[in-house]
Structure 1
Amino acid sequence: MTGDPSIDREAFKQFERDGFSRVAQGYDGAIAQVTSQVNEAILDAVETRAGTRLLDVACGTGWLSAAALKRQAIVIGLDYAENMVAIGRSRFPQVEFRVGDAENLPFEPNEFDAVVCNLGILHFPEPEKAIAQSLRVLKSGGHYAFTCWTPPARNPFMALILGAVQTYGIINVDLPPGPPLFRFGEPEECKNILTASGFVSVSLRELPITWTFSRPQDIVPTIIASSARLGPMLAMQTQEQRHDIENAIIEGAKKYAINGVIQIPASVVLAVGCKP
């Protein structure tokens, strides 16, 4: 699954960069808190401890970088969305943050003991390049880990959102096409790409995540304010489609009410490899 000619890589990359810069504040207040639920599992997987030189690729606003810093790791966070990096720098001044491209890392070979990427790989036009770059900058014996959302069949949150859009709206709105959203939600695909890239001792596991909302009516506005791709997909529906999608999501979310709070389960695949 390489070299898809239907993907304009630069257009996709620019869309993602602009989108995440636009929603950086909303992302930091919503999605970053959700995805940080797996931070400790990621850091454990790459054996993060005091003195570990760790690179956090697609670091967003720096939640995983900050978690590594608490373990006294030596951390660099890198993201290509400038506003994300700016928030990371202001919130976690002890971490070194840089603006940069995951597919062309600005580091020398063998610089890091660990490279991590939490839910970034689905935002790269050429994930094979990003993984090859991570291998290049790792020391021998170093570990690389990435996560990706599981597909709707195993992910109730994604099933709720995308199911409502498929039923009442249009999935294929006019956005720059990119790699399949759930490609790396399949463990076998993760194993294949890591092995083909040169990693050994590949391991895979699924981790739970919970999306929490005060009210079901908050779900769609939160996604629009914090997501670079799902948000525009929802925002680009017609007024009637948007109304029907929101109603379907609100009704579907009610069954996840626990003690007056909406708690919708989701999951990610955690893929880990070691550089020989």
Structure 2
Amino acid sequence: MTAHPPINDDAFKQFERNGFSRVAEEYDRAIAQVTSQVNEAILDAVETGYNSRLLDVACGTGWLSTAAVKRGAIVTGLDYTENMIAIARWRCPEAEFQVGDAENLPFDSGEFEAIVCNFGILHFPDPERAIAESLRVLKSGGRYAFTCWTPPTRNPFMALILGAVQTHGIIEVDLPPAPPLFRFGDAEECKKVLSTSGFISVSVSELPIKWTFSTPQDVMPTIVASSARLGSILTMQTPEQRHNIENEIIEGAKKYATDNGIEIPASAILVVSSKP
């Protein structure tokens, strides 16, 4: 197994907070629309319905919370980026949003009937601690679900972006070390971590997602403008590296041209479990 550099929790969290604060509006217009494609699946997984108390961890700009409110749920959203929370409050005034840390949830034990975390698990320096906190604030019999990207071998979009960087640039740029991006894209790893944390009835499935762009030339600028870490990796290349990376992404994106523009497939892991 490849060794990963030690993670400085404070440095990682500060980078994430600063990065997503910077890109919040573009994230809302781009990536949040992509990840919202699995909203109904994750809400179905935790049986979200009328008057169910749901916590949306790493809620971002509130797309999943909004979908839960439409089902009649009583929703609390939490994110550690104030700019994200501001957009979420604007999008969904019916929910309660607050700034907070997934690894130290500001809630009482057993407060929620369901907890969801849509593509947030990869943004926690200590995901086991975040999972343990979700277990704590979930009531007995409550359901917990999260999503995460699958690795490039099963994810053409990630293969295109990261493959271009690996071919023409450097992945390991000068950023605070982060947890492995695709750790939770592995079903057995998800089952092991959740079972060890105390969850039961762990199930894992895979969901299709589609990234859409008007033209192949839009792919890289969109990622740069809307992503904290991946965008930083792209911008921190030399001018020549960045030029070559962008050209490869453009050429690769052309293969996914449709009558509606560029549609690049991707996929996500959906992990569902219960508290005893």
TM-score by length of 2: 0.98
Distance in 2, matches of 1:244 and 1:268, equals 28
Cross-structure match for 1:129? 129
Cross-structure match for 1:138? 138
Cross-structure match for 2:76? 76
Give, as a single letter, the amino acid of the residue that structure 1 aligns with 2:231. Answer: G
Deviation at 1:178, TM superposition (A): 1.0
Are 1:97 and 2:109 counterparts? no
**RMSD in angstroms over aligned alpha carbons?**
1.0
Distance change in 2, residues 1:138/1:168 (3 Å): same
Distance in 2, matches of 1:219 and 1:233, equals 15
Q: Does the residue aligned with 1:247 lie in a helix, a strand or coil?
A: helix
User: What is the total number of aligned residue pairs between the two structures?
Assistant: 274
Give, as a single letter, the amino acid of the residue that structure 1 aligns with 2:235. Answer: A
Deviation at 1:260, TM superposition (A): 4.9
Distance change in 2, residues 1:139/1:37 (3 Å): same
Q: Does the residue aligned with 1:37 lie in a helix, a strand or coil?
A: helix
Distance in 2, matches of 1:91 and 1:141, equals 30
Give, as a single letter, the amino acid of the residue that structure 1 aligns with 2:275. Answer: K
Q: Does the residue aligned with 1:48 lie in a helix, a strand or coil?
A: coil
Q: How does 1:1-276 map to 2 (within 5 A)?
A: 6-276=6-276
Deviation at 1:92, TM superposition (A): 1.3
Deviation at 1:135, TM superposition (A): 0.2
Contact 2:80/2:99 (CA < 8 Å) preserved in 1? yes
Structure 1, unaligned runs of 5 or more? none
Distance in 2, matches of 1:32 and 1:24, equals 10
Q: Does the residue aligned with 2:207 lie in a helix, a strand or coil?
A: strand
Distance in 1, matches of 2:221 and 2:179, equals 25
Deviation at 1:94, TM superposition (A): 1.1
Give, as a single letter, the amino acid of the residue that structure 2 aligns with 1:6. Answer: P
Structure 2, unaligned runs of 5 or more? none
Distance in 2, matches of 1:178 and 1:44, equals 31
Deviation at 1:5, TM superposition (A): 6.7
Deviation digits for residues 221-256 of structure 1 (CA, Å, limit 9, x no counterpart): 100111010000001011110000000000000010
Distance in 1, matches of 2:177 and 2:213, equals 30
Q: Does the residue aligned with 2:201 lie in a helix, a strand or coil?
A: strand
Contact 2:5/2:177 (CA < 8 Å) preserved in 1? no
Q: Does the residue aligned with 2:210 lie in a helix, a strand or coil?
A: strand
Moved over 3 A (4+): none
Q: Does the residue aligned with 1:23 lie in a helix, a strand or coil?
A: helix
Contact 2:170/2:237 (CA < 8 Å) preserved in 1? yes
Deviation digits for residues 3-48 of structure 1 (CA, Å, limit 9, x no counterpart): x771111100110111111100000000000000000000000000
